[in-house]
Amino acid sequence: MTTALRRLRNYIDGEFRDAADGRTTEVVNPATGEAYATAPLSAAADVDAAMAAAEAAFPAWRDLIPAERQKVLLKIADRFEERAEELIAAESENCGKPIALVRSEEIPPMVDQIRFFAGAARMLEGRASGEYMEGFTSIIRREPVGVCAQVAPWNYPMMMAVWKFAPALAAGNTVVIKPSDTTPASTVLIADIIGSVLDELGHSRGVFNVICGDRETGRLMVEHKVPAMASITGSVRAGMQVAESASKDLKRVHLELGGKAPVVVFEDTDIPKAVEDIAVAGYFNAGQDCTAATRVLVHESIHDEFVAALAKAAAETKTGAVDDEDVLYGPLNNANQLGQVKGFIERLPAHAKIEAGGEQVGDKGYFFAPTVISGLKQDDEIIQHEVFGPVITVQSFSDEKQAVQWANGVEYALASSVWTKDHARAMRMSKTLDFGCVWINTHIPLVAEMPHGGFKKSGYGKDLSAYGFDDYTRIKHVMTSLDG
């Protein structure tokens, strides 16, 4: 007997709708490898409808005083808490994530981030008004950019949706957001939550719209004439395609792309504590995090001891079912991603040594063992390219100069960390590491008040913080004569 698949739908102008042409894709639970839902495969007509709704809703939303937009966001945050168990269930099914970890590690920061941007709406920044030319007063206006086309990834579909819609709505923009084709369920639920709040408070539900689909759907969104801004969290390749498409009509672009975070461990480090923290930061969410601590550089004097301790930590790290409270992470998100991680392992050079893991776990779903690989060289494929899986590589360096050279010697520049008791060394490293974030004696904590974003091929623009809010605004100079 075949179980009926749940039917997910687009959310456009306050209505749940199928794709105009009726096309759908199956949505697979990565913990089982089995389909559990269908979602619209949206095409041009669906994108047109969503953009028209967002465009029509924009003037009234833009013209609200910030305090009114704040009320909406605060109510959304409250509703996230009230419906937390629904969100947890949707995200767990979306991604195969352990339920306990979604509850403890995702819901609280998401609620906090929405509330942060609710406050940011009332703290617009700009130069002081004044007379910079005799007889004239200059004023700075900070305004929303317009309709925002947003594309969210599959590694944190729920949280990344928050990172996108919260600053955009707070700044006075309207939104059309597309979740990944593998993880639409939680974003569709978010649409239901936001739509109900907008309705209750008397605002157009066209302020927030969700369309499901694939890469072609995303391309149609970015190339559409209505959006003033395109925002994507995804791969470097996807970011380049978005930047190229947006350039055709000079849309503003916000890109948060891949990472290859160096974790630089010096000889004075507390090895047991560093290993414990690095293993969590490397394996959390199955390493499917662009800031994951998966590229470790260790001083040669402690290399062997560190590798042995890390391999032991990997062997003690558990992956498994969503309802097992002892697991640190669930499966890889999809079959293609499992194949990509396996490919990196299969192509390892002869000088590489697998210290732990290196294989798929179980006979269903897309689980992969926590893995440690040593003996690697700077130009090896697995050092230079993002694996996006539970794989930690280890290199041995001889001095600080070499550590900096190797740490910076990749095309990504999102996040990094330094592990040392030497304060001066930590300060030198934080200056010379070419990454958007440098953690010292920790790796992966984020707070709403501080920016998240990188350099080089990790993209540009900031998520979180007042800087992230500013990215969703434009600046206008108003100058008036004082002589009447």
For the chain, the maximum distance between any two Cα atoms, rounded to a whole number of angstroms, is: 83
- Given the residues 256, 355, 386, 437, the one annotated as active site: 256
Residue 142: what are its φ and ψ, rounded to 5°? -110, 120
Catalytic residue list contains 95: no
Measured CA to CA, the distance from residue 132 to residue 138 in angstroms comes to 7
Which amino acid, one-letter code, is at 236? V
- Write out the two tokens for 453: 């974003």
Place of tokens 């498409």: 245
- Given the residues 106, 290, 386, 437, the one annotated as active site: 290
195, 9 Cβ separation under 8 angstroms: no
- Write out the two tokens for 30: 């990565």
Query: 27: which residues sit within 8 A by CB, 6+ positions away?
Result: 8, 35, 36, 37, 38, 39, 94, 181, 182, 183, 184, 185
Catalytic residue list contains 256: yes
Which amino acid, one-letter code, is at 374? S
Q: What's the Rg (C-alpha) of the chain?
A: 23
Burial of 422 (0-12, 13-18, 19+ CB in 10 A): middle
Measured CA to CA, the distance from residue 88 to residue 107 in angstroms comes to 8
Positive or negative CA dihedral for 146, 151, 156, 157?
positive
DSSP-H helix ranges across 44-123: 44-63, 66-82, 84-95, 99-105, 107-120
Residue 125: what are its φ and ψ, rounded to 5°? -100, 145
Measured CA to CA, the distance from residue 213 to residue 151 in angstroms comes to 10
251, 230 Cβ separation under 8 angstroms: yes
Angle between helical axes of 157-170 and 84-95 (0-180°, round to 10): 130
- Write out the two tokens for 266: 């010096």
Measured CA to CA, the distance from residue 231 to residue 250 in angstroms comes to 13
DSSP three-state, residue 131: strand
Query: 300: which residues sit within 8 A by CB, 6+ positions away?
Result: 396, 397, 398
Catalytic residues: 256, 290
